[in-house]
Chains A and B, each alone.
Chain A
Amino acid sequence: MEAQSSVNLNAPYFLELAGFDQLLQVLRQEDYRVIGPTIRDGAIVYDQVSSSADLPAGWTDVQEAGQYRLKKRDDQALFGYTVGPHSWKKFLYPSTMRLFLAHRRNGGFEVKEEPHEVPRLAFIGVRSCELHAIAIHDKVFLGGSYTDGSYQAHREKAFLVAVNCGEAGGTCFCASMNTGPKAGQGYDLALTEVCENSRHFLLVEAGSERGAHILDEVSHRPARPEEEAAAERAIANTAQQMGRQVDTTDIKDLLYRNYEHPRWDAVASRCLACANCTMVCPTCFCSTVEDITDLKGENAERWRKWDSCFTTDFSYIHGGSIRATPRARYRQWMTHKLASWIDQFGSSGCVGCGRCITWCPVAIDITEEVRVIRETDAVTLSKKGNGNGN
């Protein structure tokens, strides 16, 4: 049993910028591989970082439907941008993973358990929407009668340093999904960056005993009321800046009763079925398996890979695809995300991060699709008396 931490859970502490680097160092000393935002190929991605110098200090991102670019900021904020094409799912739920090895033996075969060498990962800069996405995956992979052992092992070892958003992106809509911009729970430590009037500091809160013990090792002091107020201001400001919004009132039934809405045809006429939205989505969890052998057939392997409901193979059963048209596939994706997910896992599958909007090559916007369906909802229209009521 470790000594009691002097840090109070959920109390704000003041952290100098140097303290942030100290935090990364402590995590490394604790044998964590530290993963955080960094710039690569003109985008902010998640990769190994060793100090604040690796972070995109002084950069922000400009996001719109189908558009993403980086831009210099007026200040040196470490977290002055929103989410990029990566999400943490690629670390907790690898895009390709071997499930087992098998080899021939005694005229039959033997299946070997796959040893999982799960690294201790510390995630730096987990946004509130991403914490929600991780909580959603927890329900998917750990909440049912079966659990995904690999996910569980990754998850248990991951140390989460959240950051409250000081800025909302053009495609963000977490406020209307009730998933941000302030991190509520599910983190070990949560940071708020304040970068105003030539002051630049961080506030930090511990959300777990594990987080408190790490914070013990980092220079900090209780935050002063005006520092707290500055942090609250920054977050409140973000909530006001949301680039998008979704009216989620009755959204499950809205989509369930609009399976035959003509809007699906309209969106299908633009959708390339490229699967980008499912790859960048932090909650999309579909996978497929691939069985392979070596040339002599002595050894066989099964690999699990991310899959997408936008492929025709996804719903293939002997002879044909159930969802043969892009219309059906887009409808499946969006209806699953916003409606059937609620029946399956008790919450929406959308966390309002806006990635699917930004990274859609033809700028399809899920918030716009919901808005149009809501405005032309057969039921609502017939109530208003200007629909045909069918």
Chain B
Amino acid sequence: MAIENLERILIEHPFFDGMKQEHMDLLVGCASNVRFDAGQFILREGEEANSFYLIRQGKAALEIYAPGRGSISIQTLGAGEVLGWSWLVPPYRWRFDARAIELTRAIALDGKCLRQKCEKDADLGFALLQRFSQVMVEHLQATRLQLLNVYENR
């Protein structure tokens, strides 16, 4: 896919709403198109976390594997959502597995490259952190609600 195409996808993605053009240029330089078949792992627990994904199509599950219980799905993410933030915080390792449940297309962003750029450009760092903290808060709230187990028969 051509760079112009990638750029358009990134600009149109709600996650990057309001990003400065110069930052978008940097992001496009770190972006690549990826696809995962159903069942394929996108990232594995314990591995180095060097990227994040803007899902364009399909569905991915965050899972954890427990011996004797199998894989437990914690959360699924679909089109328009962002997968992965471990690349932002030390020790830069994935805490969960992520697996495509169906054919999933995404834009992968090179987190390692972005980390270095953020170090040099605090503006960019803030813009990205602001967006990720939004996503993290949403997930935290959802997890809290999940913890309440509201449908349980008391």
Interaction A to B:
yes
A319 to B153, CA, bound (A): 8
Chain A residues contacting B153 (CB-CB under 8 Å) are 319
**A191 vs B2: C-alpha distance when bound (angstroms):** 99
> Digit string of A316-339 for contact with B (CB within 8 Å is 1, else 0)?
001110000000000000000000
Q: Which residue of the partner chain A has the closest CB to B152?
A: A319
Chain A neighbourhood of B154, CB < 8 A: 318-320
* Contact residues of A between 316 and 365, Cβ < 8 Å to B: 318-320
- Nearest residue (CB) in B for A320 is B154
Q: Mark B137-154, 1 if CB is under 8 A from A, else 0.
A: 000000000000000011
A319 nearest CB neighbor, chain B only? B154
Cβ distance A184 to chain B, nearest Cβ, rounded Å: 51
Min distance, Cβ B149 to any Cβ of chain A, angstroms: 12
Per the bound structure, the CA–CA distance linking A319 and B150 in Å amounts to 12
Neighbouring B residues of A320 by C-beta, 8 Å:
154
**Cα–Cα distance between A318 and B154 once the two chains are bound (Å):** 7
**In terms of DSSP, what is the predominant structure of the interface of chain B?**
loop
The B107-154 residues at the A interface (CB cut-off 8 A) are 153-154
Q: Which residues of B contact A319 (CB under 8 A)?
A: 153-154
CB distance from B98 to the nearest CB of A (A): 36
B 21-48 binary contact with A (CB < 8 Å = 1; else 0): 0000000000000000000000000000
Q: How far is the CA of A318 from the CA of B153 in the complex (A)?
A: 9
Residue of B with least CB distance to A318: B154
Measured in the bound complex, the distance between the Cα atoms of B153 and A342 in whole Å is 37
Q: How far is the CB of B130 from chain A (nearest CB, A)?
A: 30
A216 to B154, CA, bound (A): 66
Q: Within residues 287 to 328 of chain A, which ones have a CB less than 8 A from any CB in chain B?
A: 318-320
Query: How far, in Å, is A100 (CB) from chain B's closest CB?
Result: 32
Once the chains are docked, how many angstroms separate the CA of A320 from the CA of B154? 8
How far is A141 from B153 in the complex, measured between Cα atoms in Å? Answer: 36
* Cα A190 to Cα B124 with chains together (Å): 86
CB distance from A225 to the nearest CB of B (A): 72
In the bound complex, residues from chain B placing their C-beta under 8 Å from that of A318 are 154
Q: How far is the CB of B152 from chain A (nearest CB, A)?
A: 9
Query: A320 CA to B153 CA in the complex, in Å?
Result: 11
CB nearest to B154 among chain A residues: A319
Q: How far is the CB of A321 from chain B (nearest CB, A)?
A: 12
Interface residues of B in 50-95 (CB under 8 A from A): none
Tell me the minimal C-beta distance from A312 to chain B in angstroms: 15
Q: How far is the CA of A27 from the CA of B153 in the complex (A)?
A: 59
**How far apart are B23's CB and chain A's nearest CB, in angstroms?**
42
- How far is B128's CA from A27's CA once the two chains are assembled, in angstroms? 89
Q: How far is the CB of A145 from chain B (nearest CB, A)?
A: 34
Min CB–CB distance B100 → chain A (angstroms)? 39
Give bound CA distance, A162 to B153, whole Å.
54
Chain B proximity of A255: nearest CB distance (Å): 31
Q: How far is the CA of A331 from the CA of B154 in the complex (A)?
A: 26
B142 CB, nearest partner CB in chain A, Å = 24
Bound together, the chains give a CA A319 to CA B154 distance in angstroms of 5
Nearest CB of chain B from residue A165's CB, rounded to whole Å: 51
Rounded to whole Å, the gap between the CB of B71 and the closest CB of chain A is 32
Question: With A and B bound together, what is the CA distance between A301 and B109 in angstroms?
Answer: 71
CA distance A318 to B151 in the complex (A): 12
Q: How far is the CB of A317 from chain B (nearest CB, A)?
A: 10
- Distance in angstroms from B49 CB to nearest chain A CB is 42
Give the distance to chain A from B123, nearest Cβ to Cβ, in Å: 38
CB distance from A320 to the nearest CB of B (A): 7
Q: Please measure, in the bound complex, the distance between the C-alpha atom of A319 and the C-alpha atom of B151, giving whole angstroms.
A: 12
Complex Cα gap A320–B152 (Å)? 13
Query: What is the CA–CA distance of A291 and B154 in the complex, to the nearest angstrom?
Result: 24
Chain B positions within 8 Å of A, measured between CB atoms, are 153-154
Closest 3 CB pairs of A and B: A319-B154, A320-B154, A318-B154
The contact sample of 4 A-B pairs, CB cut-off 8 A, is A318-B154, A319-B153, A319-B154, A320-B154
